[in-house]
Structure 1
Amino acid sequence: MIKLKANYVLTMNEKNEIIENGEVIFDKKIIKVGKNLEKNIKTIDLGKNSVLMPGLINTHTHLEFSANQTTLIYGDFISWLNSVIAKRENLLNDCRSHCYQKAINQMKKSGVVAFGEISSTGLDLEQLKKTELKVVYFNEIIGSNPAAIDALYQDFLNRLNESEKYKSEKFIPSISIHSPYSVHPLIIKKALDIARKKNMIVSAHFMESQAEREWLDNNKGDFKIFFKQNLNQEKAVTSTIEFLSQFEQVKTHFIHGVWANEKELQKISSMNASIAHCPVSNRLLNTGLLDIERVKNLQIPYSVATDGLSSNYSLNLFKEIRTSLFMHTGLHPKYLAKDLIKSVTKNAGDILNLNNGSIEVGKFADLISFKLSKCLNIEDLYLQIILHINEIEKMWINGKKIEI
């Protein structure tokens, strides 16, 4: 057992308690939280102005595209998507072991103890099955052409089966449905039947762009040209409500939701599903901004996530929540700061079923620590963390010290 002592312990529990001069005792899981705990235990004093908090959780990444820096086109969703299709093979081939390790190290240095990875090829499996961080590995299925669904489904199934060979407490294979416009309902049904049988959480992109909105509603807009040119497809394969209804009785994490309407958000709420908010990606692709206050009022849990380097310049989750703080100008910065930190700790841990994200008895000891420049008003702590922290000093996962 180890005892950590810090000037501030952010528990991120239901009451959002902050314990000044607090202590946490743990081995693999957290045993006690409080002040002046047992004396006969090895104690690590984290020092003056130290903060101890749950490790951050990035619920949505695409590490396969981590070789991108200046290759893809930003500013418009369809232009970006066309550039992804044109450059996809080169980017995948350029991301070898050092590329993945660089991406993982960037997340680790910014306090990420766990992440959700969307894998469209399985090329990232070799690296991610052995990383120190916790991974929910979403095997992605994509394909709207009815003539190709058998081959596409078999490829997905092969990747899923291969990833399940490495299932462990820290590596959790799962399923991703790419989006309502890009996956045929017959494949969705087969994939979700597996998810229900194996009690898997599922990820799905949903309502990221205006092009998606117009295509699914009216078979018009930028996607009409895109699908005609690329797939000789004249109509969308499903409607939004038909798509959402397929996820009944499946724990689902929808990604983006920027263009989701009231009826769709109500449906997501009724399904007890969640949403990933990716503000930098949405800004770079010029798709809009998720109304997180509306999402919160509908009691839809949300996380803030970086998305991949195909549509971001960084995988630093502290930078991502800082961006979100400045983009949502209509919300009070102090209250928003608390919600944003909750979104990448407790919310994200609950979303990915990881039993972490808060410092509470029985939770995994997935912890990070760092120092602020000086002691401050405790009511400002969440905001000051977001404003001033980019990298952490120490990390523990399942109670084990991780080298940064």
Structure 2
Amino acid sequence: MDLLITNARYAVTSNGSDEILENISIGIKDGKIAYMGTDKPAAAKTYDASGKLIAPGFINSHTHLGMSLLRGWAEGVNLQGFLERVWAAEGAIMDEATCELGTELGALEALLSGTTTTMDMYLNPAATHRGAVRVGLRHIAGPIFFDFPGLDGLQWEQRIERAHQWKAVLAEIGGPYIPTYLMPHSTYTDSPENLTQVAAIAKELGVRIHLHVSETQAENDDVATRYGKTPTEVCRDTGILDVPTIFGHGVHLSDSDMAIAASKGASVGHCPGSNLKLGSGLARFNDLRKSGIKVGLGTDSCSSSNDLDMFSVMRMAAHVVALRQSPADVDLTSIVRAATIEAAHAVGLADRVGSIEIGKEADLIAIDLHAAHLTPVHDVNALLVFAAGRGDVTDVWVAGDQVVANRTSTKIDLTDLIKRVNHRVKALDPLR
């Protein structure tokens, strides 16, 4: 073994049986999990996990990492007010270098809090991908599509050109393996004609699609007024759903929408924190899952939910189910799975990550249980969802590479990053 994680008090596997193993060792070889058991095979390095819980790294299935620079910028507003406030700030500072800087900050926050993979939709995706890979994150990004030039100033033809170049860009930048995505923003910022073109390119290239769908009732009403359809129906009729697709939010999907999405194999990135804060509504988590849709959890951006903490997202997801239905309808195992293996299915990585199983890539986190708020342990899933927090994460591995050691990045200097961020956001002062 290259690394042997020994003496873990618990390992939450998120495997097909949702096993929670005790007093277990996990061996890693060539970036993959190669051993699980109670023996201690020879290893070049060892990590003593005594008193710790090992879990799959969390998968954030919908976020905008570069917007970490706008944390706290748009408060006390709904989605429309949020967009108006944020787009002005983005127009002032979000050039390629700033997108890279903001994503570097967001990627570090994600990793320090136990998230190893993000589905990240943002401007200048090549720049954002460089920033995230530098920190060690498994970072899913893709070309963005708007009908209009947008904050990045690209014309439609330039967006199409970048889509065709994207696989080569990813190969040049490198980093942990990710599936290839195209990312039209939504059915209200991309016309059916243009969505049809994006779908055709996705089919041609054999890639996946991510876009916002039914985040608010106002969005549904707008799309219905324009096209006489729901956003999901627009996705179906333009061919978007003919390739693997993940919806961001899906708060206001009707029963019919769910049936369409399920029949096409679409998934949903559920962001309860952002939806609650912006007053967008309460997604039907259990109904989505019962319809056959794979549901992952996400944070959305730091400017709409203020952090990238997947522990708080799990907690809010459970609370939303209790509020919509009843506490008896909260299945804690399904909540943990939505942050791990179900999210991996949603984003197209379930064959590689999302569970602790031999042959999977070693995207793992260690959680220190030596804490008053984590004592005693009666129910491990309840502990993860309702008690543990990002500050309890001590160590993180991505594809076997230790990117966080003893709560500190092994890749970049936090003090220097904070200095660079604070210097750059001074350009926002005239807009305050």
TM-score above 0.5: yes
What are the superposed Cα offsets for residues 352-387 of structure 1, whole Å, 9 maximum, x if unpaired?
223101011111011111121367455x11111232
Distance 1:203 1:237, change over 3 A: farther
- Partner AA of 2:88 in structure 1: A
Is 1:394 matched up with 2:395?
Answer: yes
> What is residue 210 of structure 1 aligned with on the other side?
217
1:76-91 matched pairs, under 5 angstroms: 76-91=78-93
> What is residue 346 of structure 2 aligned with on the other side?
351
Normalising by structure 2, what TM-score? 0.81
Task: Give the secondary-structure state (helix, strand or coil) at the position aligned to 2:315.
Answer: helix
Is 1:304 matched up with 2:306?
Answer: no
Q: CA contact under 8 A between 1:367 and 1:396: conserved in structure 2?
A: yes
CA distance in 1, matches of 2:20, 2:165: 43
Task: Give the secondary-structure state (helix, strand or coil) at the position aligned to 2:134.
Answer: coil
- Partner AA of 2:168 in structure 1: E
What are the superposed Cα offsets for residues 105-147 of structure 1, whole Å, 9 maximum, x if unpaired?
11011111111111233452442353411111122211179xx
> What is residue 282 of structure 2 aligned with on the other side?
289
Out of 241, 247, 251, the residue aligned to residue 248 of structure 1 is: 241
How far has the Cα of 1:63 moved from its partner?
2.1
Out of 103, 108, 119, the residue aligned to residue 116 of structure 1 is: 119
> What is residue 60 of structure 1 aligned with on the other side?
62
Distance 1:288 1:89, change over 3 A: same
Distance 1:159 1:272, change over 3 A: closer
CA distance in 2, matches of 1:121, 1:204: 16
> What is residue 333 of structure 2 aligned with on the other side?
338
CA distance in 2, matches of 1:112, 1:176: 21
Task: Give the secondary-structure state (helix, strand or coil) at the position aligned to 1:393.
Answer: strand
Q: CA contact under 8 A between 1:3 and 1:26: conserved in structure 2?
A: yes
Q: Which runs of 5+ in 1 are unaligned?
A: 220-234
How far has the Cα of 1:104 moved from its partner?
1.5
Distance 1:25 1:154, change over 3 A: same
Task: Give the secondary-structure state (helix, strand or coil) at the position aligned to 1:351.
Answer: helix
CA distance in 2, matches of 1:397, 1:177: 28
How far has the Cα of 1:207 moved from its partner?
0.4
Q: Which deviates more, 349-358 or 264-273?
A: 349-358
What are the superposed Cα offsets for residues 20-56 of structure 1, whole Å, 9 maximum, x if unpaired?
111212211111223x235434573534431011111
CA distance in 1, matches of 2:35, 2:177: 27
Normalising by structure 1, what TM-score? 0.86
How far has the Cα of 1:101 moved from its partner?
2.5
CA distance in 1, matches of 2:5, 2:330: 28
Q: Which runs of 5+ in 2 are unaligned?
A: 410-432
Percent identity, aligned pairs only, is: 21
What are the superposed Cα offsets for residues 272-317 of structure 1, whole Å, 9 maximum, x if unpaired?
1110111111112111010101111112110110111231110121
Q: Which deviates more, 18-27 or 151-160?
A: 151-160
Q: CA contact under 8 A between 2:4 and 2:43: conserved in structure 1?
A: yes
Is 1:128 matched up with 2:132?
Answer: yes
Task: Give the secondary-structure state (helix, strand or coil) at the position aligned to 2:11.
Answer: strand
Distance 1:153 1:317, change over 3 A: farther
Is 1:366 matched up with 2:366?
Answer: no
Out of 205, 208, 232, the residue aligned to residue 198 of structure 1 is: 205
CA distance in 1, matches of 2:164, 2:376: 48
Task: Give the secondary-structure state (helix, strand or coil) at the position aligned to 1:328.
Answer: helix
Q: Which deviates more, 343-352 or 79-88?
A: 79-88
What are the superposed Cα offsets for residues 235-289 of structure 1, whole Å, 9 maximum, x if unpaired?
3496531323422331110111111111011100111111011111111211101
Task: Give the secondary-structure state (helix, strand or coil) at the position aligned to 1:363.
Answer: coil
How far has the Cα of 1:181 moved from its partner?
1.5
Distance 1:77 1:47, change over 3 A: closer
Report which of the two has the higher share of helix: 2
- Partner AA of 2:236 in structure 1: L
Distance 1:157 1:340, change over 3 A: farther
Distance 1:92 1:336, change over 3 A: farther
CA distance in 2, matches of 1:137, 1:160: 14
Out of 39, 45, 48, the residue aligned to residue 46 of structure 1 is: 48
CA distance in 2, matches of 1:177, 1:47: 43
Q: CA contact under 8 A between 1:185 and 1:238: conserved in structure 2?
A: no
CA distance in 1, matches of 2:240, 2:203: 9
Is 1:139 matched up with 2:132?
Answer: no
CA distance in 1, matches of 2:258, 2:384: 31
Q: CA contact under 8 A between 1:181 and 1:236: conserved in structure 2?
A: no
Q: CA contact under 8 A between 1:334 and 1:383: conserved in structure 2?
A: no
> What is residue 165 of structure 1 aligned with on the other side?
169
> What is residue 415 of structure 2 aligned with on the other side?
none
How far has the Cα of 1:64 moved from its partner?
2.8
Q: CA contact under 8 A between 1:59 and 1:276: conserved in structure 2?
A: yes
Task: Give the secondary-structure state (helix, strand or coil) at the position aligned to 1:7.
Answer: strand
CA distance in 1, matches of 2:117, 2:383: 23
Q: Which deviates more, 338-347 or 136-145?
A: 136-145
Q: Which deviates more, 393-402 or 269-278?
A: 393-402
Task: Give the secondary-structure state (helix, strand or coil) at the position aligned to 2:359.
Answer: coil
CA distance in 1, matches of 2:100, 2:263: 42
How far has the Cα of 1:17 moved from its partner?
0.3
What are the superposed Cα offsets for residues 183-223 of structure 1, whole Å, 9 maximum, x if unpaired?
11222122222222332221011001111121222x2xxxx
* CA-based RMSD: 2.6
What are the superposed Cα offsets for residues 52-76 of structure 1, whole Å, 9 maximum, x if unpaired?
1111111211123221133325432
Q: Which deviates more, 73-82 or 22-31?
A: 73-82
How far has the Cα of 1:12 moved from its partner?
0.6
